[in-house]
Structure 1
Amino acid sequence: MIFDLIKKRRSVFPAQYNDKPIAKTDIEKILQAANWAPNHKKTEPWRFKVILGEKKAELGEFLSNTYIDITPKPKQMKAKKLIENPKKAGAVIAICMQRDPKESIPEWEEVAATAMAVQNMWLCCTEMGIGCYWSSPGLIMYMQEFLEMNEGEKCLGFLYMGYFDGELPEQTRSSITDKVQWMD
């Protein structure tokens, strides 16, 4: 049931991933789920760049070096984490959004559609037993130096993906009644 799947979805971080590779066919299935996200005026603004193999290590080096270059007092632990996280992942997907050149809808609607595409991916990963985590560090503003991007395309973050061992903890939410106002 979809409601149970939604409640089961969690952030699973790179430190939790094991070494089991993710099959390309599984990544393609996850990307197909993204492609069915709702979007206004059929702009389909989501764009994804799948980073595998040695390119993951290059991404980590780029993120770490950029962090060190732009940060007045960089922290060694953070620089190390930026290098290591992509290597720990089975795949890293750069989440990008292509702005409609006609600007026929507000940009926030295209960002929202891209986020819905990521939610579809996340739910698909949950169903397949693949952990994932959407990271959106400030460094994404420099990604055009690492990724080939079209005019009007911007990086919104990274979906780190990997298999993991063990069970994930149960989560709770405060009551929806505190967040809803009924108006009859």
Structure 2
Amino acid sequence: MKSVKLMNKEYLNQIIRERRAIFPAQYNDQPVSEELIKVLLENANWAPTHRLTEPWRFKVIRGAAKDRLGTFLSDTYTDITPEDSFSPFKHKKIKNNCSLASAIIAICMKRDDKERVPEWEEIAATSMAVQNMWLTCAAHHVGCYWSSPGFIKYMDEFFDFEEGEKCLGFLYLGNYEDDDSISSKRSPMEDKVIWLDQ
């Protein structure tokens, strides 16, 4: 029988419940190490996957590539936004998010070539891979934020996608200072559950 190492269950509960979206404006200038990014990606690779399709694909964007992405995203926002809806603040924020992040991981999903499972299952599997990364970030006190703006549908103009691959958003990464104001809340679980015993 395979031996199983006991994990710290209370620490697991703590990490899950203290995971937060930490936004690029909150990041400091300390880089997130390549070693940690590789740990995030490896943990993502162990997400549940129906029929082992492993649909998650990731593109790590750092250095000058972040500036190229920021320019592309802000230009795309300008191109697709009606003049009466255009926000100079949002335009600047899009570009700043890329420059403020230590690294950005493009979250992509590649559809199973044989379409053996519904697309929603492939998206769900990719989302669980992202949750693995997010929890790993929380455990290492690294900030991250999943953004899925409407213009991700234009990312085939920036990336060379495989057949059946598309972008689901961006995971911004950065180190941050401790801040007691970073908190969250949930309504009671009892309001969301019905128990059926008979």
TM bracket, shorter-chain basis? over 0.9
Size of the alignment, in residue pairs?
184
Normalised by the length of structure 2, the TM-score is 0.91
Deviation at 1:165, TM superposition (A): 0.9
Deviation at 1:78, TM superposition (A): 0.8
CA distance in structure 2 between the aligned counterparts of 1:172 and 1:78, rounded to whole angstroms = 27
Q: Deviations over 1:18-77 (max 9, x none)?
A: 000111111000100100000100000000000000000110000000110111122111
Corresponding residue to 1:32 among 6, 26, 42: 42
Tell me the equivalent position of 1:173. Answer: 186
* RMSD over equivalenced CA pairs, Å: 0.8
CA distance in structure 1 between the aligned counterparts of 2:20 and 2:142, rounded to whole angstroms = 10
Corresponding residue to 1:116 among 128, 132, 135: 128
Q: Secondary structure at the match of 2:143?
A: strand
CA distance in structure 2 between the aligned counterparts of 1:170 and 1:7, rounded to whole angstroms = 10
CA distance in structure 2 between the aligned counterparts of 1:151 and 1:63, rounded to whole angstroms = 22
Q: Deviations over 1:71-107 (max 9, x none)?
A: 1122111111111101100100000000001000000
User: Runs of 5+ in structure 2 lacking a partner?
Assistant: 1-10
| Bigger shift: residues 51-60 or 161-170 | 161-170
CA distance in structure 2 between the aligned counterparts of 1:88 and 1:170, rounded to whole angstroms = 21
Normalised by the length of structure 1, the TM-score is 0.98
Tell me the equivalent position of 1:78. Answer: 90
Amino acid at match of 2:48: P
Decide which structure has the larger Cα Rg and report it: 2
Tell me the equivalent position of 2:147. Answer: 135
Aligned-pair identity in percent equals: 57
Structure 2 residue 31 is matched with structure 1 residue 21: yes
Structure 2 residue 20 is matched with structure 1 residue 10: yes
Corresponding residue to 2:58 among 48, 53, 58: 48
Q: Secondary structure at the match of 2:54?
A: coil
User: Runs of 5+ in structure 1 lacking a partner?
Assistant: none
Deviating beyond 6 angstroms after TM superposition, the runs of 4 or more aligned structure 1 residues are: none
